[in-house]
Amino acid sequence: MKKCSRSVHHSLTELNITPLLDLAFVLLVIFIITTIPPVTDVDLKLPTASKRLKDPPRDANYITVQADGKMFLNKKEVASADEMLSTLIGLRTVNQDLNVIVRGDGKTKYRQIRAVLDVCQQANVPKVNLATETLGQK
């Protein structure tokens, strides 16, 4: 009577090289990454960033959102998002390349800014920017 079948002995004698191949590929990747020379072969003086703020674009329309939720379009108070939408559509018919800059108070809730961005998207405004301040400016 046999204690072990032939297939058990047969499978034990085969060598599984899959983990060895995985190890070889990992080592190959590590060697490639570590042997890439740094790109410092040419002396180069990179430009520095300017401290001057960018000039606002020509014909920019400003949407201002205060912390209490009041919205202004070009310094004129807007009562609701629907009124702002109709005004933006009117401006868009006059100027196809309408440029809007959204300015929000630092304490304005994000959902109010998001609502303004949604209105700009519904009015198909092609250029919408968010106004920010630099760190040194107050």
How far is 110 from 102, CA to CA, in rounded Å?
12
In terms of pTM, does the model score above 0.85? no
Band (pLDDT 50/70/90 cuts) for residue 28 is very high
DSSP 68: T
Reply yes or no on whether the pLDDT at 24 is more than 90: yes
Amino acid identity of 9? H
Predicted pLDDT at 95: 83
pLDDT tens-digit readout, 88-107: 888 888 888 888 888 888 78
What's the mean per-residue pLDDT of the chain? 78
Predicted pLDDT at 25: 93
